Amino acid sequence: MKTLRLSPIHDVLQSLDGSWQDLNGMPSLVAMPNEAAIAPHLGIADLSCLTRFGVKGANAAVWLESQGIVIPDRPNTWNPLPDGGIIARLGLTEFLLEDSLHSHIAPQLAEACQQPPAKVYPVLRQDAAIVLCGADVNELLLQICSVNFRALSLVERPVVLTSMVGVTVTMIPSDRNGQPFYRLWCDGTFGVYLWQTLLAIVEELGGGAIGVPNSCNGSPTGQAAS
């Protein structure tokens, strides 16, 4: 019997009056009644359902390339993958790969790395994965993070490791359909706290929770920050 996957924030999501669907073996919030009005302004969504794979070590880059993965050539940047996934280079020798809803590269790499070569170490990724989107994302970020995201050039595909409301997060700022679209990951054990804190501020700013965005079927778009 296949084990059911649960988001690190599954319990708190159940209190929301939304529609659910099984995605990648995980019950996922896919729609909220008023999200069409909320999302362009300021929305927050759980993306923990996406499959991901982590690897690190001195030979990790060479091993990924041997698996057909085009890795970023600089630390703290990301590349798009076929079918909408992404691969982020976290420093020199650690990588995070995440699929879209329609790709399955991460499970294939996990299978291939069951007996890794020397100096290649798989990293268990049980992240809480969250999206912040909409025109007022930067107003939110000014309250919760010290990084000036407006100063970043999105064409360089930056990956930012920072602290947000006291939680260490990895963030990818990007643009979708002309609107800010920020992806972030944190240790799953901090997921409930981070979600509840962010949701409270999002609601104060007139936004709210939304379902898994349709735009998550593709990789982010790197465009110049305005």
Residue 2 has pLDDT above 90, yes or no: no
pLDDT in tens, 90-148: 999 999 999 999 999 999 999 999 999 999 999 999 999 999 999 999 999 999 999 99
Q: What is the mean pLDDT of the chain?
A: 92
Query: Alpha-carbon distance 169 to 183, whole Å?
Result: 10
Residue 3 has pLDDT above 80, yes or no: no
pLDDT in tens, 194-204: 999 999 999 99
Q: What are phi and psi of 51, to 5 degrees?
A: -80, 140
User: Contact at 8 Å (CB) between 109 and 165?
Assistant: no
Radius of gyration of the chain (CA): 17
Query: Alpha-carbon distance 219 to 100, whole Å?
Result: 7
Q: What would the two tokens of residue 125 be?
A: 């990724």
pLDDT band at 224 (very low <50, low <70, confident <90, very high): very low
Helix (H/G/I), strand (E/B), else coil: 167:
strand
The pairing of beta strand 94-98 with beta strand 19-23? unpaired
The pairing of beta strand 208-209 with beta strand 43-46? parallel
